Amino acid sequence: MTKTKILIVEDDPHILLGLQEVLKSDGFEVSVCNRGDEALEALQKQRPALVVLDVMLPGASGYDVCKQIRSKKITTPILMLTAKGQEIDKVVGLDLGADDYVTKPFGVRELLARIHALLRRTAAAKTAPASDGQNAFQIGSASIDPKTFQLRRGKSTEDLTAKELKLLQLFHAHPGEVLSRDRLLNDVWGYNYYGTTRTLDQVIVQLRKKLGDNGDEPKHLLTVHGVGYKLSI
């Protein structure tokens, strides 16, 4: 049986070796790249099922690599590795199209859980009916087109990540209903989330910006403290 291939983009030889051993022992085929400016070429050549992408790389940062990949309309899931703890660094990666992130140092169980979750979600998306959830819809003054992964508001157009689109579709399907963080994580991330809810909260922050709803008092995506979020109608 063909093994699932993962591309690791990491320049630290010790971390790279550790990642290779962990992934191979879990049954994956592993390809490696140690420069950011060679990552896109490696991705196009190797065609992995998932990319583990470090932020700090020679040649080009992980952020630049992520932006390049998504600008080519390549939807391969990206799990970013960062040694930084600042929230803004994680937000930048998610906003550029990363699907998830792990902060160094990380545990092997957490890393593998996130990788398997991303792969399951990708597989589920490929087997879903092509017509499912493909109709354009409106939230406030923004028009969202699932076919192009774009949000249009006035004269501006914003690209959406897969998770951002799925969240907007979920909110639109349940207007006025309070959706718990667990419900959102399970439905969008596709598993019982391994870790904190900060990833979800950061994606919501980015969605508010794209909706033009990022003031002190959002009008559309409202926080329900201690529970989750709801789409105000």
pLDDT of residue 130: 44
The reported pLDDT for the residue numbered 84 is 64
Integer angstrom CA distances of residue 193 from 117, 186, 189, 227: 9, 7, 7, 16
> What is the pLDDT, as a whole number, of residue 69?
93
For residue 56, the SS3 value is: coil
User: Do 114 and 26 form a contact (C-beta atoms < 8 A)?
Assistant: no
According to the model, what pLDDT value does residue 49 have? 94
Q: Six-digit token pair at 12?
A: 């630290």
How far is residue 129's CA from residue 127's CA, in Å, rounded to a whole number? Answer: 6
Low-confidence ranges of the chain (pLDDT < 50): 128-132, 192-193
**pLDDT, tens digit, for every residue of 195-212?**
567 788 888 999 999 998
* pLDDT for res 131: 42
pTM over 0.75: no
CA R_g for the chain:
18
Which of 110, 143, 227 lies closest to 178 in space, CA to CA? 227
For residue 87, what pLDDT is reported? Answer: 61
Neighbours of 66 (CB within 10 A): 25
